[in-house]
Chains A and B, each alone.
Chain A
Amino acid sequence: MLSRVAESIYWMSRYIERAENVARVVGVNNRLQLDLPDLTEEQWDPMVKVTGDEERFQTRYEAATRSNVIEFLTFDAANPNSIVSCLTRARENARSVREIISSEMWGEINRFYLFLREPDARQRALSDAHAFFEHVRRCSHLIEGTKNETMEHAEGWHFSRIGRFIERADQTTRILDVKYFLLLPSADDVGRPIDDLQWGALLRSASAFEAYRRTHGRVAARAVAGFLLLNREFPRSVHHCVNQAQISLHAVTGTPIRRFANTAERALGQLVAELDYTDIVDVIRSGLHDFLDAIQDKLNGVGNEITHTFFAQRWRGESLR
């Protein structure tokens, strides 16, 4: 497969996953505000933190009001991580690899994009946020499902999965990072209804509420962190994501798992091995935030090695263009 094509598929998938995660965070926050009207506006401030774009937000908006945050995270073209920006880039990437992804998949991406560009989209995101962000999530799932059902499960499909899962792992660490410290100001709050609601919301933002209940029953901070980080079966947990990315990476190269033939396999393999043998008790004791930071760095490193190994090879003496 052409390097450029593999790279486009990889980024297309990352951007769609990123858009879905923004919708998840906004959607759940909106829901929370309905359940807990007392929280009102300050509830929206941390949302911007999740995306790591605080500075950009502050230069462009006065206050973190609901409508400002929704505008910034959803429609603001000047925010490279807004849903619209993500979809624009995903679609540009998809457009350049139309001959590789299936026509049906292109159709879903295009429909997703056109939905966001409808003239009344802004107004609907504010007046009926629940339905709007739910729809965004569904669009992303439709693309994913259509991809699995219509695209040959060959190299391009595997690059798409690598992109999806690496992005998702990264997003899950971000959601966990911000929410965890927001929700755990003091030990006294544990057990109060508000706590349950908030932790429930965190789980719901990852579609993890029901799966968590089945596994752990009562909602407890440490167990929630453990579930989202280390559960092997839950599709949005970090451990599951890196495992899946590894399966696809090795399907591309044919190298047996647990061995490596390039730096991408090595970097990802080290991360998988680390999570294989991590216990959440140790993580919390030594500091969740630092741990999440380190995971994000390593995911970044994996991304760089993938670029280096597959997308940017040079012929001897060939200069960059």
Chain B
Amino acid sequence: MARRAGPLTPVWPGLVLAALVALAVTAPLAALLARAGTAAPGPADWAALRFTLWQAVLSTLLSLICAIPLARALARRRFPGRDALVLLLGVPFVLPVIAGVLGLLAVFGRNGWINAGLAAVGLPALSPYGLQGILLAHLFFNLPLVTRMLLQGWQAIPAERLRMAESLALTPRARFAHIEGPMLRAVLPGAAVVVFTLCLSSFSVALILGGGPGATTLELAIYQAFRFDFAPDRAAVLGLLQLTLVGTAGLVALWLVPAAQAEASRGRVLRHWGGGRGFDAAIITIAALFLSAPLVAVLLRGAPGVVDLPPSVWRAAALSVTLSVVVAALVVIMAGGIALAALRFPLLEITALPGLALSPLVLGTGLFLLVYPRLSPEALALPATVLANTLAALPFALRLILPRLQQAVADHGRLAASLGLSRGIWFARILWPALRPAIGLAAGVAAALAMGDLGVIALFADADRATLPLQVMRLMGSYRSDAAAAAALVLVAISLTLFWACERVTRDA
């Protein structure tokens, strides 16, 4: 019998990693609970809770209402540029929020393109600030997500059903009732709760477009409790409110949404059906303009200033790249280790789930309470940023990697064991090729999201050390809009490159 280097699926590293994750989650939470004690939320805190829920409900409804006709039009129409548009739908997912908001301001601001048009025909100006601004930004970021989920739903409708509907000459209403309705009923609740959860924990959008007492979300209130009032007790109370809210929504989301789709299908086009060609064309045109205009605005406004950017921006960029590479590596190592252990102990996957509910600001608050005043908050800024981003990406990465690992072990495990393969060969020849695409996507998403993250860092950063998103915000704040746009353009370029590079080098041959 050949000597093996050890079991093919080591369990111990994963158990240790899972224990570390559990500790990283529970320790800050315990600190929050201890600090909040019996303190009750005040009127301003309840107002923040109400606004958080209200804007999330409206944002979700708006995203669904707009996504249904768009996904339907994309599912049944073929036109030049369709593939590019579907690709564009993937961009907001990895687009740094601050860059998107900057673009939206250029388009919808009082001096923006839209208001210039409105003024030309004598209409009153729209303001991108407050509730309407937050809704607009949430629509920009979530419409593509819902559209992609629905598009997959439409494309999953069996072709023979559509043919049958055609041969039976069903009225549009009957076709909707029998074919599209059931699909929407299956997909929409999941999409709704995902968008709702995302909007509950939206921070950057509310930070830039909200802010006044009438437009303060819980996340923003936590930030203000720290940076404006220095009231850690209130931050702890707000943190627990936010945790309960997002945790509940996150659990519902997990329960309603099927396992993450690793590959977004560009997908087949369904046979053209039904009329409404003009309507579809209008919907597609408006959506394409809405989603691309902010990106074009950042490009046009930012490009001339890139060469003149101050060194502080490049230092911030270097720091951000370093952080996001560290996050991506940590995510892959932890997800891989935990996935291996989860083969034996399936419940281990649960350890990663709190990452869905633990918003960066809640985590940051907890960490601060743990170390204060032994360590200065600046010392916490970078480690907390890495931790928050790693924990946030972990559930997503596990959901990508674990099914593929299970498949690979089921397909090859027994044979490999009987052949007495060494662990090295097993990992290099069997597991790596099988897991490569999932690892690449997980690393790419983790790196891109960490690159664009503006959360914990805003809480603790000092003046000298900033990540690129924070630097963009500071430039916006010191009325250097052109430099801000240029830095945002650099940020977008790096984020997309990181995502593309990770995804590209590990793609199936």
To the question of whether A and B form a pair in one complex, the answer is no
Binding site for B on A (CB under 8 A): none
